[in-house]
Amino acid sequence: MNARTVPLQDQLDEITARTRGLVQAERLAVGERAVEELFATGIEERILPVGALAPVFELRDSSNRVVKSADLIAVGPLVVKFFRGRWCSYCVTELEAWRDLYGRIREHGALLVAVSPETQRQSDFAVQQHGLPFPLLHDVEARVAEKFGLVYTVPEFHQRYLKSILVNLPFLNGEASWRLPMPATYVIGRDGRVVFAEAHADFRVRPEPEEALAVLFS
């Protein structure tokens, strides 16, 4: 069975299992605490819901081209994939899963963009390294993600841990806020309204692309 036929969550669970086998328990506990504290804020319950009118946005892709959501929706339904950054192995695995489904998305007249706070340079690295056929958009200070209800500030204890493993978000994102989006999948219909919305405080959990596609193709 190749990666394209393995459910995404199974692939992510494998990353988690490998990590738990390699990383010291006290270091793993830092990430667990961050997830628990974020979940406790109730952020999952405040994301932009199905039926809401999606915020209109204009963001630059990795080649500095301005991409307007209104232009994309004029072509067809739009999948918007929010992710943390190329430094996150879970995000890269998820982007590759969507890459492998991109042909089906286009066959149905839909489009896909992925959005993160990372700089255009970092996005360009991801596009080239992973062969991504869809735009990666630079969301400065996660301002668009905030309109979708997805944004939180990484707590100081987790900032220290990320810096200790050389994940320097101020450098990667080009600004010092330490704001990140919860990874999320949205599908926006031709009328501009949300028809699928899912996000999780636990970055290790992601919706299966097929679930979003079932709504998209219905």
pLDDT tens, residue by residue, 102-117: 999 999 999 999 999 9
> What is the pTM assigned to this prediction?
0.95
Fold of 8-216: Glutaredoxin (3.40.30)
Residues pairing with 80 in the sheet: 113, 186
**Ranges of each domain in the chain:** 8-216
pLDDT computed for residue 4 by the predictor: 53
> What pLDDT score was predicted for residue 218?
83
pLDDT at 2: 42
Q: 78-101, pLDDT tens digit by residue?
A: 999 999 999 999 999 999 999 999
Please give the mean pLDDT across all residues of the chain. 96
CB atoms within 10 A of CB 98: 22
What is the 3-state secondary structure of 114-140? Answer: EEECCCHHHHHHHHHHHCCCCCEEECH
Does residue 150 surpass a pLDDT of 90? yes
pLDDT at 209 over 60: yes
* Residue pLDDT, tens place only, 3-25: 457 899 999 999 999 999 999 99
Q: CB–CB of 201/164 below 8 Å?
A: no
Say if residues 177 and 141 touch (Cβ distance below 8 Å): yes
CA distances from 82 to 29, 99, 139, 161 (A): 25, 14, 10, 23
